[in-house]
């Protein structure tokens, strides 16, 4: 039995992953943005060991989620599932003055990774759209570029894959991987999404718990339990170090 934390698990793929892992007998801690969603999460996954509460759009609240996680841990695996989608309008709506998509999709998993004692496994949710992402780090908050929600999402999912590989390089004792769950019919993906919903959460739960040889690698990018070629920037140490430095500058916390 493993103890596993899943961020952004009030609904969608995160909740599905939690329900599956609970059904397998694992000790699962879930996460919701606020108290109302946490109550719904407990009702949907009554076997969860706990539900952490905090809005990952806020650096301060993300720190508080990390504090809750430290109190609830240690964890064998953390699945960084929380995200907002490609239909987001440009919002400098966070209390920190950051672009909403970047704050939740990239900065929050960075900060949680930096603050929570390293588990043996880390899983970062990316997307097939990451291949259209731009690895340029010069305007992460879309202050000069004309806003494009799809591009901002693709960029963020590229940076999630970069983060997974960067952590694998910085922390060789940790199995850190990125996952493309497929374009599945969740609230984010839309009802017309063509991929298999049942497969949507399977790869992240497999990477978090399985002893299969293929699941015990690190620095990989997976789709439906199979390794896939990621964007070339994912393996570029200059992009990795640049992203880590940018996130450290915004949070005041360096990833060791």
- Kindly list the catalytic residues: 153, 157
- Quickly count: other Cβ atoms within 10 Å of residue 85's Cβ: 18
CA distance 206 to 79: 11
Q: Which residues contact 33 (CB under 8 A, 6 or more apart)?
A: 10, 53, 54, 55, 56
Q: Which two tokens stand for residue 98?
A: 């950051």
Cα 144 from chain centroid?
26
- Quickly count: other Cβ atoms within 10 Å of residue 217's Cβ: 15
Q: Which two tokens stand for residue 136?
A: 């340029």
Q: Residue 78: enclosing H or E segment and its boundaries? A: strand 77-80
Question: Which of 119, 111, 122 lies closest to 67 in space, CA to CA?
Answer: 111
CA distance 130 to 231: 7
**For 183-198, b where at least 16 C-beta lie within 10 A, e where not — what string?**
bbebebbeeeeebebe
């Amino acid at each position: 039995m493993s103890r596993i934390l899943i961020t952004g698990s009030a609904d969608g793929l995160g909740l599905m992953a939690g329900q599956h892992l609970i059904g397998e007998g694992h000790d699962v801690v879930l996460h919701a943005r606020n108290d109302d969603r946490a109550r719904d999460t407990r009702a949907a996954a009554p076997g969860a060991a706990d539900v952490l509460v905090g809005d990952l759009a806020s650096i301060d609240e993300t720190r508080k989620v990390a504090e809750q996680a430290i109190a609830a841990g240690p964890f064998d695996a953390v699945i960084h599932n929380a995200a907002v989608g490609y239909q987001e309008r440009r919002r400098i709506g966070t209390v920190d003055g950051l672009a909403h998509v970047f704050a939740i999709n990239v900065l929050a998993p960075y900060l949680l990774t930096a603050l929570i004692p390293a588990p043996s496994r880390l899983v970062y949710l990316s997307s097939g759209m990451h291949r259209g992402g731009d690895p340029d780090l010069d305007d992460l908050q879309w202050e000069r570029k004309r806003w494009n929600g799809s591009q901002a999402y693709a960029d963020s999912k590229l940076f999630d894959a970069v983060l997974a590989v960067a952590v694998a390089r910085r922390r060789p004792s940790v199995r850190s991987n990125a996952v493309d769950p497929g374009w599945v019919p969740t609230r984010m993906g839309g009802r017309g999404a063509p991929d298999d919903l049942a497969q949507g959460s399977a790869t992240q739960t497999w990477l978090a718990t399985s002893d299969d040889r293929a699941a015990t690698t690190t620095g990989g990018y997976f789709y439906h339990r199979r390794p896939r070629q990621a964007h070339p920037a994912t393996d570029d140490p200059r992009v990795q170090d640049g992203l880590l430095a940018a996130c450290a500058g915004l949070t005041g916390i360096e990833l060791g």
